[in-house]
Amino acid sequence: MKVIKRDIYLNKLINRKNNGLIKIITGIRRCGKSYLLFKLYYDYLLSIGVEKKNIIALSLDDDLNREYRNPDKLRDYIYERITDDNEQYYVLLDEVQFAISKSEMNSNEPLRIYGILNGLLRKNNVDIYVTGSNSRFLSSDIMSEFRGRGDEVRIYPLSFKEFYQASNLDKYDAFDEYQRYGGLPMLLNKQTGEEKEAYLNDVLKNTYIKDVIERHELRGNNAIDDVVNVLASDIGSLTNPYKLANTFKSHGINVSDMTISLYLEYLMDAFLISRAKRFDIKGKKYINTPYKYYFTDLGIRNSKLGFAQMEPTHIMENIIYNELLIRGYNVDVGIVDHVITKDNGKRQNVQLEVDFVCNKYSELIYIQSAFSLPDEEKMRQECASLDRINDSFKKIVITMDRTKPWRNEKGYLVLNLFDFLLDENSLKN
């Protein structure tokens, strides 16, 4: 397997070097956090002249290092290696949740490991980086645990560009693989479809779902597996806990909307899914429910459904959504109210949808995902919501049609999916 370039995340770590904060690398299990820190960033430090003795690297999930899962022994191990106050040291800790006991997980008291890491920050010559995959390292309140001393770097499974560059496939064959098996890096070591499906089935059942169940001590006949099934079947569809509860009830499964709401939060905390809120573009306000949910990795989604229901339009939409998150955009679903006059003369308010409203700093982009634009009527349908947005921000339609970038008569950019995915500047050009 080729070296997988993850420059977007490597550069984030480089830009944060010696910033006085604890760099916390988070993300779904098996997405490459350890590889980023212990291979790519470690090699970078060596390349700029940092000596090996000044890099204190420890993988706490390694059984050989199990004694350092005791926070006090871990603290002593680190301090014993900081021998010169005039030299800069880099502390790299992988899977730091192993230093958190079960009793601590169930307590509201500050965790010992956080106290140790915060204490290290008082030394002016220590720069700290940690990764974590479960326990409180999955929760949305991770930054509050560090009381303003943490700097989170979120890492995702491989983007299509990263996957394509690391594979030995042309872009079309690579895309077929990517949309079916997703972007978990270990898949590049698997040769057959059977091996890839077995790997995804295993990590879904024995890692992701198991983590959520153990983290939240779910017992008995809980419906979290059913929630994942429904979300996987309807990626990109509007839903909410009440609607899901009614769906389950119609199939003889009794679970309250409050319980489903909790399960959705658990799945988001575990980075398995992401939620896109609805935004009223004209009213400049958010609409509480329903929401859209997308899977962080399509291979996991497809595994949950036994690699059936491979709807290309929904899969394409999920891939675009993930790519926008990777590029650092805040992504919402746009709503545009439109008044039409019916044949009987009565006026009716109609809501039109913009697939993605993307914000980053002062940049705002409206994006429609259109699998194909075979004729002018289809183009008109896809652009109907964009036509009713009265501002000058970019409006883009992304399609699977094999076409060079072009603009329609209203100035909207029409962009091929591959041009979008393989050029990180495609939205800026």
pLDDT in tens, 227-241: 999 999 999 999 999
In this prediction, residue 135 has a pLDDT band, given cuts at 50, 70 and 90, of very low
28 in Cβ contact with 271 (< 8 Å) = yes
Q: Cα dist. 120→45, 78, 94, 124, 346 in Å?
A: 20, 9, 16, 9, 69
Tell me, rounded to whole angstroms, the distance of Cα 320 from its chain centroid: 12
What tokens appear for 364 in the block? Answer: 């705002």
Q: Is the pLDDT of residue 41 over 70?
A: yes
pLDDT, position 2: 67
Q: At what angle do helices 171-181 and 312-326 cross, to 10 degrees?
A: 90
Q: What is the mean pLDDT of the chain?
A: 91
What tokens appear for 341 in the block? Answer: 């006059």
pLDDT, position 417: 98
In this prediction, residue 423 has a pLDDT band, given cuts at 50, 70 and 90, of very high
253 in Cβ contact with 226 (< 8 Å) = yes
**What are the start-end ranges of the H helices in 204-311?**
210-215, 224-233, 241-250, 257-269, 298-304
Which of 289, 221, 282 is CA-nearest to residue 253?
221
274 in Cβ contact with 324 (< 8 Å) = no
Residue 163 to residue 242: CA distance in whole angstroms: 38
174 in Cβ contact with 47 (< 8 Å) = no
pLDDT digits (tens, 9 = 90+) for 45-82: 999 999 999 999 999 989 999 999 999 999 999 999 99
Q: Is the pLDDT of residue 160 over 60?
A: yes
In this prediction, residue 316 has a pLDDT band, given cuts at 50, 70 and 90, of very high
pLDDT, position 212: 87
Positive or negative: CA dihedral 12, 17, 23, 28? positive
In this prediction, residue 178 has a pLDDT band, given cuts at 50, 70 and 90, of very high
Residues 218, 224, 225: CA angle, nearest 5 degrees: 120
Starting at the edge strand found earlier in the chain, the sheet holding 347-360 runs: 238-239, 285-295, 273-280, 330-341, 347-360, 363-370, 394-399, 413-416, 406-407
Q: Is the pLDDT of residue 9 over 80?
A: yes
Residue 53 to residue 283: CA distance in whole angstroms: 57
What tokens appear for 387 in the block? Answer: 């036509």
What tokens appear for 320 in the block? Answer: 């675009």
24 in Cβ contact with 152 (< 8 Å) = yes
Which of 77, 56, 55 is CA-nearest to residue 66?
77
pLDDT, position 83: 94
pLDDT, position 144: 63
Using the CB atoms, write b or e for 255-277: b if 16+ within 10 Å.
beeebbebbbebbbbbbbbbebb
Q: Is the pLDDT of residue 109 over 90?
A: no
What is residue 370's DSSP assignment? E
Residue in this structure with the two tokens 């010696």, named with its chain if needed = 18
User: Taking the model in full, what pTM does it have?
Assistant: 0.93
The average pLDDT across 325-334 equals 96
Residue 173 to residue 306: CA distance in whole angstroms: 21
Q: Is the pLDDT of residue 245 over 60?
A: yes
Using the CB atoms, write b or e for 304-319: b if 16+ within 10 Å.
beebeeeeeebbbbbb
**What are the start-end ranges of the H helices in 294-375?**
298-304, 312-326
Residue, of 14 and 225, whose pLDDT is higher: 14
Q: Is the pLDDT of residue 148 over 80?
A: no
The average pLDDT across 274-297 equals 93
